[in-house]
Each structure stands twice: as structure tokens, then as C-alpha cells.
Chain A
Amino acid sequence: MAQAINVEDLNIYYGDFLAVEDVNVTIQPRSVTALIGPSGCGKSTFLRTLNRMHEVIPGAYAKGVVEIEGSNIYGNGVDPVNVRRRVGMVFQKPNPFPTMSIRDNVLAGVKLNNKRISRAAADELVESSLRGANLWEEVKDRLDKPGMGLSGGQQQRLCIARAISVKPEVILMDEPCSALDPISTLAIEDLIHEMKKDFTIVIVTHNMQQASRVSDRTGFFNIAGTGKPGHLIEIDDTERMFTNPSNKQTEDYISGRFG
């Protein structure tokens, strides 16, 4: 089910402002790709174009080609709602639906689109999704309790369970650990390792150690200055990026000379 992502000549705008310029990249299936770079360089913006969430912001749009499974998600007549059902997303802060129980949170995506599933199938899906998010053992006795009652780290794993329950091909993670403590962060990182068996994962992170721990490939975004568009400077195998990057800017950033 995991699919490759192929991005060609992607330009991303906020109204008249060109935020990210000319991205060309291919992301392999069943791999973890980390995106790093200083604040405001456009890495989150780029991430949000991969499931057409960028255009949710008034005035925002993207031009170019993003192919998933060979079909351009920015093609004519493509419904962004269908794109988002194939490309799951996990956000910076845990955001379970506050009025729903743990179980209903996991099933939220499946119940959209007026799908009906049997009680038994729902139970099975809840268990497999929560197991997939390493949360089952912790919550199996309180599935009907509100999702907001969990700790921050558990809430984030609940959000991951919610995202994988609809069986997407790609999962995008936008700084998924930035609001979490180190223990919860470790739990999410372990989870990412397991999830890449089934999904293509793209993760934005501010934490370079995290990028080197979880990812197979790392992309570095940079910005020439305020008001200038961000660029994808370099993308390569993670090990190579952190030991012997080919671009001077990457080396400066990774060695902590700026950013």
C-alpha cells in the first residue's frame, strides 16, 4: 500500500508571496524521509502540499506536479478530499477530537464518507489501529473514555492510530514530537521505525538528532533571507547528509554554524 511520491517543479504560494520555489524530489515507498531546516524555510509548507492541506489557508495555492502512485494530485478534477483520504497527517500538537471517546477517535476517519461498518469490523479496526500505534495495551480497558483524558504522548499516538485506521498510502508528520517529553518522543520514534514497513513516511522535524535517528533520507530546506522563497537545498541518504553533505549550506546548518 505504500507508494512513492514524485514531486516536479513545485512552487508554493501564499497569495502573491512565493514561499517555496521549484522543489524536485522523489520519495521512495516504505521509507522515512526527514525534512530539516531553519524556521520559516518552508519545510512544513512543503509537507502540507503533499496532501493538499496547504490550500486550506485562504489565498494559499501550489503549482506543479505531485505524483502519488503515478497520478498527479494537483491534476484537473482531482478532489482534495480524496487525496487526504490516501495521505494521512499527524500534527505538531496532538489534536484528538475532544468530544469523542478513544474508540470514536480511531473510527472518525472511517465513519466519514458515510461508510457503515459492522460492530465486529469496527472492534477489529480499533484494535489493529491502536496496536499499530503502540497504544492498545495502555488504553484497551478504557476505549469509551474521552481521548482528551490521555497524556500528551498517548494523545499523539491516538492521532497516529486515527491516521492509519483509514489505511493511507503515505503518512505526513509535522513536528510530531515538538510538544512531547523525551519518553513520549522515544515512543513515537520507535513507532515510526515500525510503521515504515507499511507506509511511506515524511516527517518534518526541528530536531536534527531525531532526523538522524528515524529517517532513511534527509532533505534540507533553506531560505536566503526574510521575504525570499525557501528552497530544497539537498536531499540524500541520512547517514551521508550528517557525515558528508555535498552542499556547504547543509554542512553549516548541520554543524550548528547557524539555524
Chain B
Amino acid sequence: MSSSVATPSSPQQDPPAPAAPTTTAARTAKRPGDVIFSGLSIGSGLLIFLTLALVFIFLLIRSWPAIQTSRELTGNADAVSLVQYVAPLVYGTVLAALLALLMAVPIAVGIALFISHFAPRSLATPLGFLIDLLAAVPSVVFGLWGGVWLVPRLEPLFFFLNEHLGWIPLFGGTVSAPMRNMASASVVLAVMILPIITAVTREIFLQTPRLQEEAALALGATRWETIKTVVLPFGRSGVVSASMLGLGRALGETMAVLMVLSPGETFSLRILQVGQHNTIAANIASHSAEATPDVMARLIFTGLVLFVFTFIINAIARAIVSRTTKS
């Protein structure tokens, strides 16, 4: 019975077998699953490029009226100068993001090290979970919290800094309550970007090869020395890329800044003085609702600047990461 089933099928199977050396390669390359999957993944990859390009084109087209009528292009002294309009906003955006990063990164690295290397496991797991949760809190909630709760509580600190360290330009100027200033806004931003930086750096620190840590311990390194000689060098590029993620978020953050900062458009370093700075994102959000077509085009132009700016910062971050991982 079995042989009668086998014989009819064998002539059908035989022909491909001798020809196998020439056809298997072509045949394995064309399995439908592979074709569909590679098509899908290539398509998804291209979609990213397409989306980015479309956003860029949209921004360019919609901001074109502003560019066209700007003082820079027309040479007309009465026209609005785009450079003069955008520059303080760029300055404010970068200042807010850098200050936030300056405050958040050391704390984030500290928390990440605590979770990965110091806390007992019974504490590390819930703490890590909590950090992840914090990363999911909407920015408008941080904004509310910052504006209503944090700002009044920062008053004594800011008065103190102004009084005793006022000779440093950063803390100089006239300081008055409510503290709707750059310092408050960047503190709220720092709190916002803290979870994402912590979460990424913690993952990196946890990946430190066990053998490397044991090498340091076996030499008689204390826990801190182990971290200094092995964990931090290993995690350096991860800390940089986590910081850049945080920076990207801080640059584009809208609601938290809008709800805390009282805007201005100077290039002042005085982060304690109210009404000095504004960020691109907050400026767009506060003006877009009642904007005339002219103003709208100008706002979209600032959006274009922010877009290009974040792009450049990410490219720099990539370069730093790839250089540190290579060496």
C-alpha cells in the first residue's frame, strides 16, 4: 500500500532534484512569506522618509508667504524681519532645553545607577516601573503641576540665588513673584525629561558585562570604583543618546512651557527675571488660535526652523554615539 502511494509521487518529485543546484537559490529567495515580509518592512522604512519629506514640504510651502515677504528677501525696511523674529525664540528654546538637560542628566544617571547597582531587587523593580510610569504622564499635567504647585515653592530658592549669587549673570536682574521665568520652566522641563533619560540609561547600565564588573571587583575595587572603571565607561554612549532623546523632547515641549513661562523676546541670560524668554513651540501654541494668515505663515516658519534644528541635533547625537562606541 505504502509503496503504491510512494511510486506515483516519486516521478513528480524526481525532476526538481537533479536540477536543484541551479534552481534552489532562486526558489528559496521567492518564498511568499519572505516576499511579503520584506515588502512590508521596506515599505515601512520608506514611509518614514516619505513622512519626513512631506512634513518638511508642508512647512516650507505654508511658510513660503512669510519668507517671500520678509525683510531679508524683499529688502523692504518696513517688512517683518524673520531673523529678528525667530532668533530670540531659537535662543529661548535652546536655553530652556540646555538648562533642563543640565539639571536632569546628573540626577537621571544617579537614579539609573541606584536602580541598576545599589538598590536591592525588591526595591529596584517597583522603582523602575514607577520611572516608566512617570514617562507616560502627559505634559499638560506636568505643566499644571509646575504652574500651580512648583512655581510658588521655588520662590525662596530663586530669591536666595538672586540675592547671594546675583553677580553671576544667570541669576542677576530684578526678580519678582510669581516666578513665571525661564528657571521655573526649565525645572519643569527637567522633571519631564528625567524619566526617559533614566529609563534608557538604566537599561544600558544593566547591560554592563558581568565579567567586566567582576574583573574590577576581583582587583579589590569598591562598588563606586567598579562603577567608575567599568559601568560608566561602558554606558557613556548610552547616556549621550538618552540625553539627546531628552533634549529632543525638551526642545519640542509646548504645554509645560506655555503654562509656566511668562513670555518675552530678549537674548537675556537672566533666567530668574520674568518676561525675558519664549520657546518656539510655546509661541506657536499661544498665537496660532487667533493668527491672521500672515502671522500663521510666520509661525509655520518658526516650526520649520524647529524641525531643522531638532534634525541637526539628532544628527550630532548620532555622530557622538557612533564615535564613542567605535573607540
Contacts and interface: CB of A to CB of B under 8 A. Distances in A.
A82 interface: yes
Contact of A166 (B209, B217, B220): B220
Interface stretch (A60-68, A91-99, A249-257): A91-99
A162 B212 CA distance: 13
Contacts of B164: none
B293 interface: no
A51 interface: yes
24 contacts: A82-B220, A84-B218, A84-B221, A85-B219, A85-B220, A88-B218, A89-B218, A91-B218, A95-B211, A95-B212, A97-B216, A98-B212, A98-B234, A99-B234, A108-B216, A108-B219, A108-B229, A109-B220, A112-B225, A112-B229, A159-B215, A162-B219, A163-B219, A166-B220
Given A56-B217, A97-B230, A98-B234, A81 B222 contact: yes
Contacts of B121: 58
Interface string B226-262: 0001100110000000000000000000000000000
B163 interface: no
B211 A93 contact: yes
A53 B220 contact: no
A53 B221 CA distance: 12
B214 interface: yes
A209 interface: no
Contact of B212 (A53, A97, A112): A97
B142 to A, nearest CB: 36
Contacts of A97: 212, 215-216, 229-230, 233
A244 interface: no
A89 B218 CA distance: 6
A95 B215 CA distance: 7
Interface string A70-104: 00000000000110110011010101111100000
A132 to B, nearest CB: 16
Contacts of B220: 81-82, 84-85, 109, 112-113, 166
Contacts of B225: 112-113
* Most-contacted residue by chain A among B215, B216, B225, B229 (CB, 10 A): B215
A112 B221 contact: yes
Interface string B116-143: 0000010000000000000000000000
A50 B214 CA distance: 14
Contacts of B212: 95, 97-98
A98 B218 CA distance: 16
A109 B226 CA distance: 11
Nearest to A51: B218
A95 B234 CA distance: 13
* Most-contacted residue by chain A among B229, B233, B234 (CB, 10 A): B229
A81 B291 CA distance: 67
Contacts of A81: 220-222
Contacts of B214: 53, 56, 91, 95
A109 B221 CA distance: 8
Contacts of B230: 97
A96 B215 CA distance: 8
Nearest to B217: A56
**Minimum-distance CB pairs A-B, first 3:** A85-B220, A89-B218, A99-B233
Nearest to A114: B225
A81 B221 CA distance: 6
Contacts of A113: 220, 225
A53 B234 CA distance: 22
A162 to B, nearest CB: 7
A64 to B, nearest CB: 21
A129 B215 CA distance: 17
A112 B218 CA distance: 12
A53 B217 contact: yes
Given A85-B219, A99-B234, A159-B215, 18 more contacts: A56-B214, A81-B220, A84-B217, A84-B218, A85-B220, A88-B219, A91-B218, A95-B212, A97-B215, A97-B216, A98-B233, A109-B219, A112-B219, A112-B221, A112-B222, A112-B229, A162-B219, A166-B219
Contacts of A163: 218-219
B215 A84 contact: no
Nearest to B222: A81
A97 B222 CA distance: 16
B218 to A, nearest CB: 4
Contacts of B234: 98-99
A98 B121 CA distance: 28
A131 B16 CA distance: 64
A56 B217 CA distance: 9
A101 B215 CA distance: 15
A176 to B, nearest CB: 13
Nearest to A93: B211
Nearest to A162: B219
Interface in A211-256: none
Contacts of A159: 215
Interface string A157-179: 00100110010000000000000
Given A95-B212, A97-B229, A53 B218 contact: yes
